[in-house]
Amino acid sequence: MQNYLVHLISDMRQAAGRVPQSRIPDGEFDPDYMLELEESAGKPMSQWFGLEKVAFPPSEKLTVEQLELMATEFEKLWAAYSFEPDFPEGLPAKRRYELLREYLDYPTQHWPGGWQHHFEFCDYEPENCPFGSEFCKCKDFEDDEIEMKPKNKDELPF
């Protein structure tokens, strides 16, 4: 598996070098080009990268060290295209890799010129959290909301 991953990482790094560039010079503005980008249809990330999802082994086939390596390489590839995954701090490499691999089927637009496209992965439903209960960021919002609700009418601010 290690030899295969070496070749896959090489392909990922080549894909990072094929990022579509903006056709307008830095610092200039072209409203027609901006409109063209806004109206363009998204395409799966796998097409942007030129790498098919089937090329990436399922997480169960990788060791802990290989998962860390592949998650890191995936994040570098995403960064080259200005795609920024929003993971909770400390999320294990296995889950990062699984989400990044899963999103290869996700249609999105790419905006040349370095405009960041953030991916949250979360629908803010703790019971369906893609990060698991330990790393769920939105369960804290519910706790805050519960604390803010008055317990009786005497606690109302008006």
**Biggest CA-to-CA distance, the chain:** 68
Report which DSSP code applies to 10: H
Residue 154 has phi, psi (to 5 degrees) of: -70, -20
Domains of the chain by residue range: 2-19+34-121
User: In whole angstroms, what is the distance from residue 76 CA to residue 100 CA?
Assistant: 11
Between residues 133 and 82, the one the model is more confident about = 82
Q: Which of 101, 99, 77 is nearest to 19 (CA)?
A: 77
Least confident of 7-11, 89-93, 110-114, 117-121: 110-114
Q: Which residue has the tokens 């519960």?
A: 146
Q: Which of 14-18, 69-73, 80-84, 140-144 has the highest mean pLDDT?
A: 69-73
Q: For residue 125, what is the DSSP state? A: -
Cα three-residue angle 58-62-64, rounded to 5 degrees: 130
Whole-prediction pTM: 0.74
Residue 55 in contact with residue 104, Cβ under 8 Å? no
Tokens at residue 86, please? 């929003």
What pLDDT, on a 0 to 100 scale, did the predictor assign at position 146?
41
- Specify the pLDDT at position 42: 79
Contact 47, 86 (CB under 8 A): no
